[in-house]
Amino acid sequence: MGAEERWRELRAQGAQIDAGARAASGRRHLEAGREGTSAAKSLGVVWVECPHSVVSAGLVQALEKRATVHQGPKPPEDVPSCVILCANSHEGLSERVEFYREHSPDAPPVVVFGPQLDLPLARDALQAGASGFVHAEMMPDQLVRALAVAARGELVAPRELLGYVLTKDYSSDLGALSVRQREILGYVVEGLSNAEIGRRLYVSESTIKQHLRSVYKVLGVSNRTEAAKTMRDAARGV
């Protein structure tokens, strides 16, 4: 075989290798894209039962990076991780929450969405059986975190609801907490970690842990989940 023929053969082999490498790279990028999409959609399907408006458009936009959003009165094909139910008033709230709770045999959690921080509406939503209350004044990351908590089967409530509950004398145990302890417990109910609470309050994580240990003792519970449940139960009048 001459030098020229040998060169042509090597070039052909090189082209085949390059083509194979490009194909493999393309597959890796596609797989990575799929994995990234899967990770980004960690909330799964979220059913938004709200009339089309500027507010609901903002709600959908806030969720689209982390969820597959289905909007409208008809249920989605796939079982949703949660249902967001828009409510501007207390009228018929219990019936609406009950309807969506019984709509699916898997009973996805129902989270009531209000136009603003409305503590009486939040209390009534929880008492009606909703798994939580969120509102249009929340930041997108707060909203996503709240829905993730609800999707895990936990109740979601504004931390301000604790103070409102105390004014209604729902729980003497909660009333025994200090102002700082109530504030920290409110953040726990929102789903924040000890480190995140510490950053919000400009104190160390160990300080947050010390406060929570005192909260557990006052409430007669053993961990943050039970402490948050005590507050949520009080909000629901349980």
Q: Is 220 left (phi over 0), alpha (psi -120 to 50) or beta?
A: left
Residues 52 and 116 in one domain: yes
Tens digit of each residue's pLDDT (9 = 90 or more) over 71-117: 988 888 888 888 999 988 777 888 888 887 776 556 788 999 998 88
Say how many domains are in the chain: 2
pTM above 0.75, yes or no: no
Tens digit of each residue's pLDDT (9 = 90 or more) over 21-63: 455 545 544 444 444 444 457 888 999 998 888 888 889 999 9
Last residue of a domain, which of 120, 138, 156? 156
Residues 218 and 172 in one domain: yes
Last residue of a domain, which of 156, 171, 191? 156
Q: Is residue 50 part of a domain?
A: yes
Residues 121 and 192 in one domain: no
What sign does the CA torsion over 195, 196, 197, 203 have? positive
Last residue of a domain, which of 156, 175, 201? 156
Domain span at residue 142 reads 40-156
Output the six-digit token pair for 21: 């490498």
